Amino acid sequence: MEPEAAPERPLGDEPSDRADGLRRLGIAAFGRGSYEEAADYFERAVAIEKKPGPVTPTACDALQGLAGAYLILDRATAAEEPARRALACREQLHGPDHPRVGDSFLLSGGVYHRLARLDEAVVAWEKALEIYVRSETLSDPEHAVVLANLGRVYLERGAVEKAEIAYVQLVGLYERNMEPGDENLGMAWADLGVVYFSTGRTARAHAAFLKALRILEPRLGPEDPTVVQVRRNLAAAARRLRQRRPSP
């Protein structure tokens, strides 16, 4: 997840103020898409906060931001250590059931997934989901993405029933909390269509792919690779439906 937006402000004279200022600069750079710059700011903030003392929100957030920047920069191995420390820091600061702890589990799952450690990714994402449900924050679009992550991994591993539960829940959340033409909703319908198609529920798959296409094509354009794939899936479902119709 991206760090929360924060205004830039001058660095202070005290170490804690300098660390917080660097954290804020890192967040601003992250928001601009300048991930190398963000990583540099977060690294400097973390270096200051490494000194002995109580756990602080600045330290936790700088570690979380650093891990997120590393992950986007395709440096998953480097991201693992700050992600682990951010999780421990936030558990100590907020307690085990706080949404910010869920955010750290969500990020850790992304790191593990990038490192092809799927068992650990699933455990982390399931823990994040559990926290979001308990804290009643799953409707937050940034939190709901954990359902998409789990659904995709479940489907890859052949756990189709679990994948369907995740995607059905995701579609419901997006329909209640997003605009009808939101791209994320279209992607959720496309993924749910794959589940239905793989389990032989072709009519449901066709309907899901059609909903996905009607959302995604106007947003992304007809030549976008995702739109092309959804159109192919829709055509495959249509062919299967025609083959199952009785001959006249």
- Predicted model pTM: 0.86
Closest to 166 measured CA to CA, from 181, 146, 183, 184: 146
Task: Say how far apart CA 49 and CA 21 lie, in whole Å.
Answer: 12
Closest to 193 measured CA to CA, from 182, 174, 209: 209
Q: Give pLDDT, residue 14.
A: 73
pLDDT for 1 beyond 90: no
Total residues found in the chain within this entry: 248
Kindly report, residue by residue over 108-135, the tens digit of the pLDDT: 999 999 999 999 999 999 999 999 999 9
On whether residue 232 sits in a domain, the answer given is yes
Q: Cβ contacts of residue 235 below 8 Å, gap of 6+?
A: none
Kindly report, residue by residue over 61-117, the tens digit of the pLDDT: 999 999 999 999 999 999 999 999 999 999 999 999 999 999 999 999 999 999 999
Three-state secondary-structure class, residue 51: coil
Q: Give pLDDT, residue 139.
A: 87
pLDDT for 2 beyond 60: no
pLDDT for 7 beyond 50: no
**pLDDT band, residue 248 (cuts 50/70/90):** low
Own/partner contacts of 221-227, CB < 8 Å, gap of 24 or more, are 226/187, 226/190
On whether residue 236 sits in a domain, the answer given is yes
Kindly report, residue by residue over 163-205, the tens digit of the pLDDT: 999 999 999 999 998 888 999 999 999 999 999 999 999 999 9
On whether residue 238 sits in a domain, the answer given is yes
Which residue segment(s) compose the domain that 231 sits in?
179-243
On whether residue 18 sits in a domain, the answer given is no
On whether residue 52 sits in a domain, the answer given is no
Task: Say how far apart CA 27 and CA 217 lie, in whole Å.
Answer: 32
Kindly report, residue by residue over 20-40, the tens digit of the pLDDT: 999 999 999 999 999 999 999
On whether residue 208 sits in a domain, the answer given is yes
On whether residue 195 sits in a domain, the answer given is yes
On whether residue 221 sits in a domain, the answer given is yes
Q: Give pLDDT, residue 53.
A: 62
Q: Give pLDDT, residue 165.
A: 96
Q: How many domains does the chain have?
A: 1
